[in-house]
Structure 1
């Protein structure tokens, strides 16, 4: 999958009390990189896992399931593909149906970390902590969930 690199320079200052001040550091952050892409780039996820996770996230976004403060008036924008002749509302419902099916395919207990990492964009350690799981258990469970989602989406 090809990503557009969106970079931002950040200046980081360490806490003054914990160690002597070394000055400012500058890092470049790719704002477009998802948690799944980060894991894939470091060899923790296979290509199949990445594609399945990105398909799940795409359906989550198309179904407009992200929390919002107020109502959104912008339509779902999709060009081409098998859903081209559907109305925007029908495309949104189709995405919601696929998302619900993929989450159900992942199963209870696996879908929690799957949603947190693939859709909400949380890092695996943050998701483990929020779920009360032991350290380093999240990648294993995420891999199992992504295998099931890949089967659901028929990713080879």
Structure 2
């Protein structure tokens, strides 16, 4: 019975928060919530007091407003994972990946993708501003960049500085695995395919995960120029990963009047 009461209390709190988030500024007359558009909702004083105590709602007299923590609270409630606090920052979606030559379905967090925001942009016609192939190409470049160990070190290195390699041995490359070396080779070929004019913005956004405004400020580019250059770079990268099939050439044979080809019997 206690668990049932707790579930009902949590459900009532969720309804209350959803109403506030949808309505914005709301007045409370002691029993009912009144939104600016005329919608009403009943709420108990216990639910209201609990929401204020948890920091989900701010009350100033008869006026109520939802805090940013209210949206996070609802996301945690909708999460079915064992770690709801981590799951509230995820947007999981199924993706198809190639592993050992076979296509497999995996779950990916779209919020971790550097192109997640651009993937939601639409043209005036309603079509995606970036095709799926361009998005996949940017994510593939990011995966190879990470797999190749090309990400800059963000923390202090505690490894000893004493050199242990013998004379004539390879340097840092000897410590890389075959997978990392292959990934670095793919990144180098991808950058070459994009070209020197467009490879910089592709690396900044897809690999170093910089925002478009940051790229424009660092490179002193005009506003909204990085968006267009990135699209051109990703389209070139998509053609590199999946070259278009050349049209088949038709064979023509010319003969004089009365010519008859030899047909196999």
Q: TM exceeds 0.5?
A: yes
Question: Is residue 35 from structure 1 mapped to residue 114 from structure 2 by the alignment?
Answer: yes
Structure 1 58/145 Cα, relative in aligned 2: closer, same or farther at 3 Å?
same
| Residue 68 of structure 2: aligned partner | 25
Distance 2:157 2:190 in 1: 27
TM-score (normalizing by structure 2): 0.41
Q: Which runs of 5+ in 1 are unaligned?
A: 1-21, 73-87
Partner of 1:13: none
Normalised by the length of structure 1, the TM-score is 0.67
Q: CA deviation at 1:92?
A: 0.7
Runs of 4+ aligned structure 1 residues displaced above 6 Å come to none
Mark the CA change 1:142 to 1:71 in structure 2 (over 3 Å): closer, same or farther: farther
1:38–1:71 CA distance, 2 compared to 1 (3 A): farther
Partner of 1:92: 180
In terms of Rg, which structure is larger?
2
2:157 corresponds to which residue?
70
Give the superposition deviation at 1:136.
Answer: 0.6
Flag the structure with more relative contact order, 1 or 2, with Cα contacts below 8 A and sequence separation at least 6: 1
Question: Counterparts of 2:218 and 2:66 in 1: how far apart (Å)?
Answer: 33
> Partners in 1 of 2:235 and 2:210 — Cα distance?
19
Alpha carbon RMSD of aligned pairs, Å?
Answer: 2.6
Q: How many residues align?
A: 121
Q: Equivalent residue for 2:195?
A: 107
User: Comparing both structures, which one devotes a greater share of its residues to strand?
Assistant: 2
Runs of 5+ consecutive residues of structure 2 not aligned to the other structure:
1-64, 73-87, 91-108, 123-128, 160-175, 245-265
CA deviations on 1:121-151 (whole Å, 9 max, x unpaired) are: 1111111111111001111100111111111
